[in-house]
Structure 1
Amino acid sequence: MSDPIDPTTLWIVIIGMAVGSFALRFVFIGLVGSRAMPGWLLRHLRYTAVAILPALVTPLVIWPAVTQGQPDTARLAAAAATLAVGFLTRNVIAAIFAGAGTLYALLYLLG
């Protein structure tokens, strides 16, 4: 069992993250919000969600904590189904439901 974290350290980390999060948002909303952004920047910002979502999900597929970091068939198949449905339909919601349905069906069937 690990030692509990020092409350002072915990609050320093929480406050530091809050200040950093506020500063990052303020730069875009407070300082740049009233100005028109260049076209090249707007083009790149369109890909933010496309880049962030796979970055969040990939570690959960390749190194799932449930299996102690070992890839498993259900998660890999769900990722493949999500990718295939998303590519074929260009519909994010359909891709998410296809992946979730595949994951839960295979977890149920494989135990």
Structure 2
Amino acid sequence: MIDKTTLWLVILALGGGSYLLRFVFIGLVGDRPLPAWLLRHLRYTAVAVLPALIAPMVLWPPATGGQIDLPRLAAALAAIIVAWKTRSVIGSVLAGGGTLYLGLWLAGLNL
């Protein structure tokens, strides 16, 4: 167990760092227009972050001890197909989530 002093120092340091990072964009740059090249690159942030969050859960799921299983692969495939066809983030998330729960239910696994 970590002692309370170290815990509070870490909490305060992380809070201060988070505040400073947001202040740079909101406080210092918030009233100025951003360059076109930066805005162009920021458009792809969500496209890069979402797969980076999802891929490990599909390829090395902790729920199965790191073994790939069919319900998660089917859910990923359903989400990819819906995203490709409709360009809808909400639609792809719902399709992937629904397919995952249906696949787990059909496989008889606990949700």
Instruction: Output the TM-score relative to the length of structure 2.
Output: 0.90
Aligned to 1:45: 42
Structure 1 unmatched runs, 5+: none
- Look up the SS of the partner of 2:52 in the other structure: helix
Deviations 1:44-102 (A, max 9, x none): 11111111111112211111111112221111110111011100111111111110110
How far the C-alpha of 1:16 sits from its partner, in A, is 1.4
AA partner of residue 86 (structure 2): T
Task: Determine if the alignment matches structure 1 residue 83 to structure 2 residue 71.
Answer: no
Q: Which residue is 2:101 aligned to?
A: 104
Percent identity, aligned pairs only?
61
Q: How many residues align?
A: 108
Corresponding residue of 1:32: 29
Tell me the distance in 1 between the aligned counterparts of 2:9 and 2:61.
30
Q: Secondary structure at the match of 1:70?
A: coil
CA positional deviation for 1:5: 2.4
TM-score (norm 1): 0.90
Bigger drift between 96-105 and 49-58 goes to 49-58
Partners of 1:5 and 1:74 lie apart in 2 by 39
The answer for the alignment partner of 1:55 in structure 2 is 52
Structure 2 gaps, min length 5: none
